[in-house]
Structure 1
Amino acid sequence: MKSDLQSVDKPSGAGRPRDPRIDTAVLAAAAELVAEVGYASLTMAAIADRAGTTKTALYRRWSSKVELVHEAVFPTSPSALTTPEGDIVGDIRGMIAAARDVFSSPAVRASLPGLMADMGADADLNERVVARFRGLFDVVRIRLEHGIERGEVHRDVQPDRLIEIIGGATMLRMLLHPDEELGDSWVDETAAIVTHGVIGID
């Protein structure tokens, strides 16, 4: 596997596109390894070896371990918002369930403290990493705007604050009770509280 991925990644000339198989293999390797050895012990060399490629190939795609691990463990697809447009209650519950699934994964549990420390120490790095979520924030903003137009959502509800509340509540719950599973009842109860603060008629 290693020789195959190395060979397809070597550019034969300027502008040759990189093989997306390497990206997939590297992200999978990073997620696996951080759950196995922890963020502090994780190295780019180990990720490259697990993915069957080279450190050079990694650094052509990600400038640091932080950016690589962040992309590996935190999805940015707005797939949580799968309910039809117009169901703001379903949207909120879907977002909370998605946050629960992400933050309870072994890879996120292992990497989050180290990621937060590294990102907090470098403002430029933090901005680059957080920029990955702009697409998701846009989807939330559009859904809230449509809810306001329908008279279902308070006009002062901001998408950034809603995402912070959902993510913050999920992380705090994991910190307070790390050994307890977050089940659907927690999702339902949290969704009921958040929805009560979001929905209203002006």
Structure 2
Amino acid sequence: MTRKAGRSRDTGIDARILAVAAEHLSRDGYQAMSLAAIAEQAGTTRQALYRRWPGKAELAAAVVTNMADDGQAITPADPYRALVAELADFQRGVSMPGRLSLVGTMLQDTTQPEVLARYRARVVVPRRSRLLAILEAARVGGLVDADADLEVALTMCTGSWYGRALAEDAPPPDWPERTAALIWRAIGGRGPGGPCPDDRPRP
């Protein structure tokens, strides 16, 4: 006797739930995120949501996984231009609706450690790895000081954006270029492509 195939999973519902959950997680934080409210806004039932994700932690983790950064760290031919491009990509990502507030949610004490760990592994670490690879390539190529503090420079790359956001000082459109130029000079950067310390106006 041939068994009838079960009803196929509606991936459209999955996408709607994840989109709404991302909005709620960013806006309300992990603790206040309501699965009932998410199901209602996504146009489905709580039962349908629970069949896919058994609890809030699993759904929040799925949201983070869904926005994973899959870019790989490579050795760039032109580290300075690669730095500008990476910062421009960061600017596009963090400017998307809900992304900046999601960072705040991840820093809340009430966020599940598993969710925070997944966010770091899937979003933060790939970006930092690519930025560090760019800075390391510049050092290996003799384009920056051999003793440059790349750990501090790495934090400066994205930290300046968050600092301005906290101060309600909107970053300018040319933030990637200005930030890259400042970091490049701070670590003794010289060509090709980047601004040379000797090119700075003297008092």
2:140 equivalent among 118, 140, 149: 149
Change (3 A) 1:152 1:34: same
Q: What is the identity, as a one-letter code, of the residue corresponding to 1:192?
A: A
| Structure-1 separation of matches of 2:57 and 2:147 | 38
Which one has a bigger Cα radius of gyration? 2
- Structure 1's 45 and 134: CA in aligned 2 closer, same or farther, altered over 3 A? same
Per the TM alignment, residue 77 of structure 1 is displaced from its structure 2 partner at its CA by 3.4
The answer (yes or no) to whether the contact 2:132–2:154 under 8 Å persists in 1 is: no
| Aligned-pair CA distance for 1:114 | 2.6
What's the offset of the Cα at 1:175? 1.4
Is residue 140–residue 159 contact of structure 1 (8 Å, CA) maintained in 2?
A: no
- Which runs of 5 or more residues in structure 1 are unaligned? 1-5, 10-18
**Residue 115 of structure 1: which of 80, 87, 106 is its match?**
106
Tell me which of 31, 38, 46 is aligned to 2:37. 46
8 Å CA contact retained: 1:141, 1:159 = yes
Given that 1:38 and 1:110 are in contact with CA atoms closer than 8 Å, whether structure 2 keeps it comes out as: no
Relative to structure 1, the CA distance from residue 71 to residue 107 in structure 2 (aligned partners, 3 Å threshold; closer, same or farther) is farther
User: What is the correspondence of 1:82-121 to structure 2 with a 5 Å cutoff?
Assistant: 85-118=76-109
After superposition, where does 1:149-188 map in structure 2 within 5 Å?
Answer: 149-157=140-148, 161-177=152-168, 180=170, 182-188=171-177
2:70 counterpart residue number = 77
Whole-Å separation in 2 of the counterparts to 1:189 and 1:158: 19
Amino acid at match of 1:56: R
Asked if the contact 2:76–2:134 (Cα under 8 Å) also holds between the matched residues in 1, the reply is: yes
Q: Which has the higher helix share?
A: 1
Question: In structure 1, which of residues 11, 27, 34 is the aligned counterpart of residue 18 of structure 2?
Answer: 27
Q: Distance in 1 between matches of 2:87 and 2:20?
A: 27
Q: Deviations 1:11-63 (Å, cap 9, x if unpaired)?
A: xxxxxxxx87666444323234456x533643234334517541231248x83
Partner of 1:127: 117
State the superposition RMSD in angstroms. 3.9
Structure 2 Cα separation of the partners of residues 189 and 144 of structure 1: 16
Counterparts of 2:8 and 2:138, CA distance in 1: 48
Change (3 A) 1:57 1:93: same
Aligned: 1:190 with 2:179: yes
Instruction: Pick one of 134, 138, 143 that aligns with 2:129.
Output: 138
Count residues with an aligned counterpart: 179
Do the aligned partners of 1:48 and 1:58 also contact (CA within 8 Å) in 2? no
Residue 63 (str. 1) matches residue 57 (str. 2): yes
Tell me the percent identity: 19
